């Protein structure tokens, strides 16, 4: 008969974010040696999950439920990668959100903040503006 260990908090805390719960689940599984030993192993798992998501997206008869599951697996794996890198995933995502917002505002400013003008630009021109914003803002951040 398996021994019971009631010291682990095996639950999802509804008061915490999904990111925090995923981090918690990774910590719990790591305590029981159910974890990837190397960061490269986490990256390999993340790549597998992305391939599985892509496979679902390529299906002729797409299933929103399967796509939802695979997308969740990708996100869970990303959180586990952050955990292995000892990066707070929420702070990291907030930082990336701010970078995107700053770059997007910069792009709009290059169009004199004219949203209709921006909207009517070709995808190539928008990509060019994105590159300018990224380059300009990365230089001011240094």
pLDDT digits (tens, 9 = 90+) for 25-76: 999 999 999 999 999 999 999 999 999 999 999 998 989 999 999 999 999 9
**In the chain, what percentage of residues exceed pLDDT 70?**
92
| pLDDT, position 114 | 87
Q: How many C-beta atoms surround the C-beta of residue 110 within 10 A? A: 16
| pLDDT, position 140 | 73
What's the length of the chain? 142
- The residues near 39 (Cβ < 8 Å, ≥ 6 apart) are 81, 84, 85
Set out the domains of the chain in order of their start, with CATH numbers: 11-87 (1.10.287.1080), 90-142 (no CATH)
Max CA distance (Å), the chain: 71
For residue 86, name the pLDDT band (cuts at 50, 70, 90): very high
The alpha-helical segments, DSSP class H, found in the chain are 18-31, 39-58, 64-84, 89-110, 115-119, 123-141
């Amino acid at each position: 008969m398996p021994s019971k260990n009631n010291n682990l908090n095996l639950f999802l805390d509804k008061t915490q974010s999904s990111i925090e719960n995923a981090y918690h689940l990774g910590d719990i599984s790591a305590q029981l040696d159910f974890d990837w030993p190397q960061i490269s192993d986490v990256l390999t798992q993340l790549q597998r999950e992305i391939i599985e998501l892509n496979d679902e997206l390529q299906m002729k008869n797409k299933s929103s439920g399967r796509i939802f599951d695979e997308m969740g697996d990708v996100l869970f794996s990303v959180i586990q990668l952050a955990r292995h890198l000892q990066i707070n995933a929420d702070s990291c995502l907030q930082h990336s959100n701010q970078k995107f917002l700053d770059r997007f505002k910069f792009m709009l400013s290059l169009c004199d903040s004219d949203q209709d003008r921006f909207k009517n630009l070709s995808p190539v021109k928008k990509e060019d503006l994105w590159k300018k914003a990224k380059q300009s803002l990365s230089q001011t951040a240094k």
